[in-house]
Amino acid sequence: MSDTPKRFPDRDEIAAVHAEAEGVEPGAEGAAERRLAGRVMARRDMGKLVFLDLVDRSGRIQLLCPEARTGIVDVHLGDVVGVTGRPTKSRRGEPSLIVDELVLLSRIRSPLPDTFHGLTDIEQRYRKRYLDLLMNDEVRSDFLLRARIVSAVRRYLDSEGFVEVETPMLQPRYGGAFAEPFVTHHNVLDQDLYLRIATELYLKRLIVGGLEKVYELGKDFRNEGVTYKNNPEFTMLEWYEAYADYRDTMRRIESLIEFVALAALGTTKVTFKGHEVDVKAPWRRVRLIDELKEFDLWTADYDDLKQRLESRGVDVSHDKTWSQLVDKAVTAYIEPRLIEPTILYDYPIELSPFARVTEDDPRIVERFEYYVGGMELGNAFSELNDAEEQASRFAMQAAEGAGGNVEAEQGDPDYVEALSYGMPPTGGIGLGIDRLVMVLAGKDSIRDVILFPAQRERPAP
């Protein structure tokens, strides 16, 4: 059994003590005693004086350990220690702590890599994230940034009168997005359940119930591939606001992202995928159909659109419905050029089973998606609030499914019944938190902003 202490209370943050030591003259000592704890990440022996670099979440500081004052320093690279001492500066002017007492809190048993980026298997960065965090200051900073982003999202919505709620992750029916679900089985109930692909249908039930402004920030799950922007388990924000439409939601999402950028970074200007962009509101707005027309890809005929895409070398062999072809056209031709923050709005009804139609054209619905650096961040609607129309849209989606679209909505009679009690006009939106962090942190891969991204299990040795 370990004989190391069970706790090390009343410790200071390294960053604060480092700043305090900045104001001390070389060779002098601060008046107040400080207690620090962290991991030893460097050791230099200079005869009767040992230099250690101590790291905690807030930063790094040099420890000065004179043998006459500290005693024998039985510390290895990677050990976790607690120290008591006074802020000082070394002869070279390095902010430091001169140590009176050093306590071993945890002995390292496996050696740290000499240089983490020298590991031959790049997958180790994700598989052994604890080593990535230990050895890479930038990685720690990225995930602390993520925490500030999530906190700022909540502060914004809370300040705007939204109520944070929790809805089921295990659902008897999946819905609210075009995606293939993960399925599991509940033994006691003896029924299949689905890991949610979205929170939409439950959150809108709460709008029916009179909560008026609700949001949920949590995990969704989609049985899809792993790409630079997709992970099967991801973090999504959805909110719904009664008495608002998609124009109101456009303005709110611009305002939220600007607020979050300023709160987390202190600026709205970021560099993402090699592009310098400014997420300050207002954002550029373009109609989807206008963009498709510009590429001569706007046609309501499945065979015609398929031929136009095939003639340009786009693989549509797995696209069985017109809506899938439109999605492929958007992905191939429109998304890549939406570099500046852009709102792409007004979608064909076939692509949007939960959105209200526009006043001008019953074939077009009030939906928008929004992009930065050529990557979609989320999706929003003026929500459909007519029960009979919703039932008809579910039937349309069932036809999509019969036509070969495995991601089509399966329908939810209980949700249709909820709408029959009357839902106010409502604006709703989803925001991919992982993708937002990618943009604000300037990371090209979603695996760099998820602490434990999906990995293929390694075979047993």
What one-character-per-residue DSSP string does 183-230 give? Answer: EEEETTTTEEEEE-S-SHHHHHHHHHTT--EEEEEEEEE------SS-
Q: Smallest Cα–Cα separation from 256: which of 375, 156, 369, 378?
A: 156
* Mean pLDDT for the stretch of residues 269-274: 97
**Alpha-carbon 144 to chain mean position:** 12
pLDDT tens digit sequence for 36-70:
999 999 999 999 999 999 999 999 999 999 999 99
Domains of the chain by start residue, with CATH: 14-106 (2.40.50.140), 134-283+340-448 (3.30.930.10)
Q: What is the pLDDT of residue 190?
A: 96
Q: Would the pLDDT of 253 be above 50?
A: yes
pLDDT tens digit sequence for 141-169:
999 999 999 999 999 999 999 999 999 99
- Give the Cα separation of 279 and 288 in Å (integer): 21
Return the number of other C-beta atoms located less than 10 Å from residue 119's C-beta.
16
Return the number of other C-beta atoms located less than 10 Å from residue 311's C-beta.
8
Report the sign of the C-alpha dihedral through residues 165, 171, 177, 182, in that order.
positive
Q: What is the pLDDT of residue 411?
A: 77
- Give the Cα separation of 8 and 24 in Å (integer): 26
pLDDT tens digit sequence for 201-221:
999 999 999 999 999 999 999
Strands (E), 32-79: 34-46, 49-56, 59-66
Of 98-102, 223-227, 250-254, 446-450, the range with the lowest mean pLDDT is 223-227
Residue pair 86/64 in contact by the 8 Å Cβ criterion: no
Of 23-27, 294-298, 395-399, the range with the lowest mean pLDDT is 395-399
* Mean pLDDT for the stretch of residues 16-27: 95
pTM for this prediction: 0.92
pLDDT tens digit sequence for 277-335:
999 999 999 999 999 999 999 999 999 999 999 999 999 999 988 988 999 999 999 99
- Give the Cα separation of 344 and 289 in Å (integer): 9
pLDDT tens digit sequence for 63-99:
999 999 999 999 999 999 999 999 999 989 999 999 9
Quote the percentage of the chain above a pLDDT of 90: 83
Q: What is the pLDDT of residue 406?
A: 57
Instruction: Using pLDDT thresholds of 50, 70 and 90, give the confidence band for residue 179.
Output: confident
